[in-house]
Amino acid sequence: MNQKTEMHQIAEQATFQIHCAMEQLDWLRSTMHIVRERLQGEKDFQHLAKLLGLAIYNTDDWHNLLDCERESLEQRLKVAEELQQ
């Protein structure tokens, strides 16, 4: 197996893992939105609803960070492959 093929496989595996993590964050975010909406309707739980809003914000931030890292890895792989040709 040549170096280019190995490098490409490593990058594909890394970006696949990032995609998986992003998908799991999407599931978590959806769950938190549902729980927050239900808590907002309950007077005694409105503070918990706000806390879930913070968790959603942090989940969105982490999702965006992972997406930027994925894009960066894919671009770096493209450049590295072009340099090897």
What is the SS3 assignment for 85?
Answer: coil
| Dihedral, CA of residue 29, residue 31, residue 23 and residue 20, to nearest 10 | 110
- Computed over every residue of the chain, the mean pLDDT equals 91
Q: Which two tokens stand for residue 25?
A: 């964050």
- Mean pLDDT of all residues in 36-64: 95
What pLDDT does 4 receive? 63
Q: What is the pLDDT of residues 11-38, one digit of tens each?
A: 889 999 999 999 999 999 999 999 999 9
CA 84 to chain centre: 30
Share of the chain above pLDDT 90, in %: 72
Q: Which residue has the tokens 């989940």?
A: 59
> At 72, is the pLDDT very low, low, confident or very high (cuts 50, 70, 90)?
very high
- Closest to 49 measured CA to CA, from 64, 35, 28: 35
